[in-house]
Structure 1
Amino acid sequence: MKKIVIALCAAMLIAPAAQAQMSTPTAPAQGVLRVKSLHGVDETVERIKADIAAKGIKFFTEIDQSQLGAGANINIRPSKLILFGNPPLGVQFLSSNPYSGLDWPVRMLILQEADGSVSVAWTDFGYIAKRYSITDREAQFKMASEVAASIASSTTK
């Protein structure tokens, strides 16, 4: 059951992120931001994990979605989802609206596009604030947005 839930979550994240085409953070439909990495999927993941560690942020897990697909006899391009966060910051969002826990901890999707390039995608924190009608954490959402963009930018160098 756990594998099915993870696979369904992965499918929901892959579809909007697969539309990623731009090299600077953009806000396409469904509140997804993305940047193009200058590295392959595995190197991109390692760079993100190193930047997370350097910032003192807690790394929770890495899910190899293409491996999940292979286990279900479904071939997808290389795709990994990483979860990380700063509990003292993230829990503030949960205290404003417990359902925001559906979007915490932070998730970043690293995927190989159809053209072979690699994208890093994540949910725009402004979108999350609107989604859960959180209006009392503007400074915290701004900080989370800046940190996520900084982490993603570690893959563009």
Structure 2
Amino acid sequence: MAVDGLTTIPSGFGPQDTMNRLETAVKAKGMTVFARIDHAAGAAAVGLPLRPTELLIFGNARGGTPLMQSVQTIGIDLPLKALVWQDASGKTWLSYNDPDWLAKRHGLGGETEAAVKMMTGALAAVAKAATTG
């Protein structure tokens, strides 16, 4: 399941627990949760089936602003997003955009390297906290 720029990791928990753990980890890192979108609930509301699929939108102005100061178009990919979803076999996954890939996509220069590295580490940490015991 290789998609360019997308990091996808398996979770040892179900979708609801994984998302709750992710939200807790994001807040513990001092980031703001802007929205939690339950795509499956939206599908159900219009009579369509969808396995558990939930998106968390979160970020930190101290981390994202330097990137937007360099190249404003990265604002279309910020704040950060993480998707918790369940496949057809019942396995839960967590997916997010790789900050290095986002930096390349928008042509960010070396002056943003430290901020991108910090964002990459923070994402990896909250993903690990959400998916492992």
* TM-score, scaled to structure 1: 0.79
Q: Which has the higher contact order (CA 8 A, sep 6+)?
A: 2
Q: For 1:53 and 1:130, how far apart are their aligned partners in 2?
A: 27
Q: How does 1:12-23 map to 2 (within 5 A)?
A: 19=1
* TM-score, scaled to structure 2: 0.93
Amino acid at match of 1:142: K
Query: Structure 2: which 5+ residue stretches go unaligned?
Result: none
Instruction: Give the drift of 1:41.
Output: 0.8
Q: How does 1:1-150 map to 2 (within 5 A)?
A: 19=1, 28-135=2-109, 136-150=111-125
Q: Does 1:152 align with 2:101?
A: no
Instruction: Give the drift of 1:53.
Output: 1.6
TM-superposition CA deviations, 1:27-71 (whole Å, max 9, x none): x33210011111111111111111112111111110001111122
Q: For 1:126 and 1:55, how far apart are their aligned partners in 2?
A: 20
Aligned length: 131
Amino acid at match of 2:33: F
What's the secondary structure of 1:30's corresponding residue?
Answer: coil
Query: Structure 1: which 5+ residue stretches go unaligned?
Result: 1-18, 20-27
Amino acid at match of 2:4: Q
Instruction: Give the drift of 1:111.
Output: 0.2
Instruction: Give the drift of 1:93.
Output: 1.1
Question: What is the percent sequence identity of the aligned residues?
Answer: 30
CA RMSD of aligned residues (A): 1.1
